[in-house]
């Protein structure tokens, strides 16, 4: 089933909340890449993870539908490792 989804993705590096229209067949990794691109983050996507309802979404070939993401869901993209404060 490839129904349309509209999700809100908060990119923690910039604190931008981005609306993305996608489908349940979209890959988690593609959503992460799109959110980082729209937020203007120029670091490699591999250094970031996606969370939904407090849990990390595994990206190894999983779709948003596989992960249980629903319409109007809120997700967060944040760095895998904490960066030191300067």
Mean pLDDT score, 53-78: 92
CATH number of the domain that 44 lies in? Answer: 3.10.20.90
Residue 44, class by beta-carbon neighbours within 10 Å (0-12 exposed, 13-18 middle, 19+ buried)? Answer: exposed
User: For residues 27 and 59, is the Cβ–Cβ distance under 8 A?
Assistant: yes
Domain count within the chain = 1
pLDDT of 12-61, one tens digit each? Answer: 999 999 999 999 999 999 999 999 999 999 999 999 999 999 999 998 88
Closest by CA to 77, choosing from 56, 48, 53, is 48
Residue 67 lies in a domain: yes
Give pLDDT, residue 60.
Answer: 85
In a domain, 19, yes or no: yes
Secondary structure class of 34 (helix, strand, coil) = helix
Residue 85 lies in a domain: no
27 in any annotated domain: yes
Q: Which domain holds residue 58?
A: 4-79
Q: Is residue 9 part of a domain?
A: yes
Q: Of the candidates 29, 24, 20, which has an alpha carbon nearest to the alpha carbon of residue 61? A: 29
In a domain, 25, yes or no: yes
């Amino acid at each position: 089933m490839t129904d349309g989804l509209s999700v809100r993705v908060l990119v923690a590096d910039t604190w931008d909340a981005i609306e993305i229209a996608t489908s349940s067949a979209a890959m988690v990794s593609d959503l992460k890449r799109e959110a980082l691109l729209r937020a203007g983050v120029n670091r490699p996507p591999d250094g970031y993870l996606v969370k939904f309802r407090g849990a990390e979404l595994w990206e190894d070939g999983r779709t948003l539908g596989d992960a249980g993401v629903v319409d109007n869901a809120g997700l967060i993209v944040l760095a895998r490792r904490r960066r030191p404060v300067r």
